[in-house]
Structure 1
Amino acid sequence: MISAAVILLPTRYHPLTVVGGLSLLKRAIFTAQRAGAKTCYLVSAHTAEQTSALRRSLAGDLRLSSRLVWLGPQETPPDPQPGGPDAEQCLAFEVQTVFAADLARDLAEAAAPQAVWAVGQAPQDCALVVFPLPALPTALARLQTAGAELAGGDWGAAVQRFAAEGYFLAQVSRPSLAAGVEKALLLSLPNPRDGLVDAYLNRKLSRPLTRLLLRTPLTPNHITLLSCGVGLLGAACFWGGGYAWPILGGLLLQLSAVVDCVDGEVARVKFLESPLGAWLDITLDTLVHIAIFVGVGIAVWKQGGATYAPLLGGALAVGAAICFPFVTMAEKTEEQGKQQGGWENAIIQNMIEGLTSRDYSIIVLLCALVQKLSWFLWSAAIGVQVFWCILAVLLHKAGRLNWAVFSSRSLDA
């Protein structure tokens, strides 16, 4: 288990180079935190003035949760403070190394007690090193005198190699490489709940937009609100009836689905995920769905389909509203379901993954193009009622029908 991290700041690299809306320095610290580090030792070979500028760049960032210990070439580090009997490993890497936190965690799990494991082909090109925490004082002393270069470390044992195939790992050795690493980083962060339309259409359209918005102060919650606004505008278009208005509504719904991909991408790249953000996302998604369903009912009625079309649209909207608390409950008790196992939890997981994909948006657009929105209306109005009934029964059977998840404390956790 990783309890500390040594982040090296050699002079030949630029810690304030921005990748994905974050400086390499911030990205290194946040990744170390995500890997489990409670203390980050920042070993700098820069001048005192340059190091002071680096420290100022971190001021006021609420994402910083670890204790930061800055060390220059001549400074004596404090004694390490292990967090418990299992917190016995330290992660070391240079600031230009961009990697996924799960690589560091898996590297630590692979390392036996008192063993040293590294990612890299040879001692001189190690990208990440995990070593026993008791070796930290010796390692820090060597790294301070080695110009904050990872190759100069003394880990106290022979280094074993860890195969990093399948993990994201990149080096921003010069600022001109930042754009390429940023693009690769985005490609490495897929959402496991993506449907076919998300994977083959929405994500391909969302990533260029994400890279643009990463350079702005917009937060994921701002982007969620933007996605909701586009979706509601699309729902309003369906009220126009006829042929062109529903098509425009379908196109705006599809655009809303693309923007809805962006908020999660920005959150993951900038380490801005939060329970509140996830709740806002699903709440506003549900609002858009309800508005679209009502709009489709009005569109079918205005197209002369049937006088009961608005009632079907209303039933569909009510069904979507009833689904909302059960879907939220399923998502908030997901870890409980994984621990329990069983067929009920497996079915719940598949149902939620299918529902939270955005594939239905393309179905609405296609139905509008061929003037068969009534087909969507009938199938969805029946399907949504069946869905929430089955989900409620399965949650009850799995012991996950817990209304306490809607407390304010749960949202802020």
Structure 2
Amino acid sequence: MSESTLQRGAELQGLSTAILLPGAGLFGDRPGRGLTDVGPLTSIGGLSLFQRTVLTLQRGGMRQLIVLAGSDEELLKHALARGARVTIPVRWMPVREFPLDDPRTWESLATEVRGFCLIAGVQAVFSKGLIEHLRQSVRDGEALVVTREAGPVEPALGRRNPAVALQEGRLISFHNHPGQEGHQVAADLVVLPASILTPPNGAAASPSGAAEPAGMIPVRRWLERAAVEGRVRVVAAAAHAGLWYRDVWDHTSAGLAERTLFRSLKGEAEGFVDRYFNRTFSRLLTRLFLRMKCSPNAITMVATAVGILSAVGFGIGTYSAGIVAALLFQLAAVIDCCDGEVARLTFTESPFGAWLDIAMDNVVHIA
């Protein structure tokens, strides 16, 4: 057996499969009900929520995706075909044939999962680092549930994920009482070993014995049962560690998620002017370039053209021309930040784009 085959087999034993639920939340939303304010095709930072979720998972190291899609399957496929290239296999399973509340759906999925699977909704924006952290944190037979801090404004009760009670980093229970600001709330992002998807016959519906409402996804029941055995660890999302997570349930939360995305673009080696001046104005222009669907390379050429115009102004030699040239040179520096921001936001970075950016910077400096 070849070394590459052995390596791929080892990867599949860990966390390499993601199951996406575009039409439902893991805890609160019933399949098929839909979300009225925003949805999988809502644009955040130049990409739809569904596109961004898929590409973030790909960048985070996922090797295969399974999408349990509803009536919007064709729209989702069309959205995924646009923009950045998806290089991992994507399998589409219609929920009309594989109902999310049917145990047989999850038993069939368990046969395709070796080791662990990540189950995620798409009504959120999260970092590549969070996915990488989850992949590194899996332990045999244990589940992971990602949590976020409750904020001052939370979704309506029918769409709110449960708060969590934990002890020493392990889940004790869920509860539906509104959490106070700063309390931990379950996110639509969990990691489950394949064995949890196929519980033994006769397993209880839930530790409390309460009947599960029709149409509900059984994720909460699985986690509660595993928590009784001490097999659920909690991973708290943390912006300062690059493990950020933002729920999106309305247009206000969508704006907050987009601001979080832009803040994540800061480089560690940026100087004072870049961080507090150029980046402040570049974000405004980046939003404009995203709406205009400009490619990063096209933005690089715009910055180059503005830079060359500034050189012409300096060459004229008059006082007024020098003032205009200085302003144009600063504008070129601001636009020069935008190409990288658009590339990172839309997952369209490339070696050629990096070379072009450096080459055009040198052209402007020589001019």
TM-score by length of structure 2 reads 0.69
Q: Hey, what's the Cα distance between the residues in 2 that align with 1:281 and 1:260? A: 8
Q: Greater Rg, structure 1 or structure 2?
A: 1
Query: 2:276 aligned with 1:193, yes or no?
Result: no
- Residues 100-249 of structure 1: pairs in structure 2 closer than 5 A: 100-120=127-147, 122=164, 123=174, 125-127=185-187, 128-132=189-193, 147=216, 151=220, 157=226, 158-165=231-238, 166=240, 167-249=243-325
Does structure 1 residue 80 correspond to structure 2 residue 80?
no
Q: What are the superposed Cα offsets for residues 100-138 of structure 1, whole Å, 9 maximum, x if unpaired?
A: 010111122233233212211525753222233565677
Q: Deviations over 1:16-41 (max 9, x none)?
A: 11111111111110011011111111
Extract unaligned runs of 5+ from structure 2.
1-13, 25-32, 99-104, 148-162, 165-173, 176-184, 200-204, 206-213
Letter in 1 for 2:78: R
**Cα distance in 2, alignment partners of residues 67 and 168 from structure 1:** 26
Which residue number corresponds to residue 394 of structure 1? none
Structure 1's consecutive aligned runs of 4 or more residues displaced over 6 angstroms after TM superposition are none
How far apart, CA to CA, are the structure 1 residues paired with 2:218 and 2:80?
Answer: 22
Partner of 1:301: none
Aligned equivalents of 2:342, 2:218: Cα separation in 1: 31
User: Following the alignment from structure 2 to structure 1, what is the Cα–Cα distance between the partners of residues 121 and 316?
Assistant: 58
Closer, same or farther in 2 for the Cα pair 1:155/1:113, shift >3 Å? Answer: farther
> What secondary structure is seen at the aligned counterpart in 2 of 1:213?
helix
- Aligned residue pairs, count: 279
Cα shift at 1:97? 1.6
Matches within 5 A, 1:192-341: 192-291=268-367
Provide the C-alpha distance between the structure 1 equivalents of 2:216 and 2:74, rounded to a whole number of angstroms: 18
User: Would you say the 8 A contact 2:51–2:80 is kept in 1?
Assistant: yes
Aligned to 2:50: 25
Return closer, same or farther for 1:155/1:23 CA change in 2, 3 Å cut-off. farther
3-state SS of the aligned residue for 1:126?
strand
Give % identity: 37
Q: CA deviation at 1:175?
A: 4.0
Matched, 1:93 2:93: no
CA contact (8 A) 1:186 1:207 kept: yes
| C-alpha distance 247-131 of structure 1, shift in aligned 2 (>3 A) | same
**Pair 1:146–1:287, CA change in 2 (3 A):** farther
> Is 26-35 or 186-195 further displaced after alignment?
186-195
Would you say 1:69 and 2:91 are equivalent positions? yes
Tell me which of 34, 40, 62 is aligned to 1:15.
Answer: 40
Q: How far did residue 224 of structure 1 move? A: 0.7
Q: RMSD of the alignment, in Å?
A: 2.7
Whether the 8 Å contact between 1:17 and 1:175 is mirrored in structure 2 is: no
Please list every run of 5 or more consecutive structure 1 residues that lacks an aligned counterpart in the other structure.
83-87, 292-413
Partner of 2:180: none
Query: Does the CA contact (< 8 Å) of 2:223 and 2:232 recur in 1?
Result: no
SS of the residue corresponding to residue 192 of structure 2 reads strand
Describe the superposition over 1:267-312 as per-residue Cα deviations: whole angstroms up to 9, x where unpaired: 1111111111111111111111111xxxxxxxxxxxxxxxxxxxxx
Which structure has greater strand proportion?
2
Identify, as 1 or 2, the structure richer in helix.
Answer: 1
User: Quick one: structure 1 residues 240 and 153, their matched pair in 2 at CA, closer, same or farther if it must change by over 3 Å?
Assistant: farther
1:38 to 63, 66, 71: 63
**Aligned 8 A contact 2:15 2:138 in 1:** no
Structure-1 separation of matches of 2:198 and 2:77 = 23
The amino acid across from 1:109 in the alignment is Q
- In structure 2, which of residues 15, 19, 24 is the aligned counterpart of residue 6 of structure 1? 19
Contact in 2 for aligned 1:19/1:182 (Cα 8 Å): yes
8 Å Cα contact 2:16/2:116 also seen in 1: yes
Q: Give distance in 1, aligned partners of 2:266 and 2:352.
A: 21
Judge conservation of contact 1:126–1:151 (CA < 8 Å) in 2: no
- Alpha-carbon distance in 2 for matches of 1:242, 1:60: 48
Give the TM-score of the pair, scaled to structure 1. Answer: 0.61
Over residues 210-245 of structure 1, what are the superposed CA-to-partner deviations in whole Å (9 max), with x where a residue is unaligned? 122212221111111111111111111111113222
Once the two structures are TM-superposed, the CA of residue 260 in structure 1 deviates from its matched residue by: 0.7
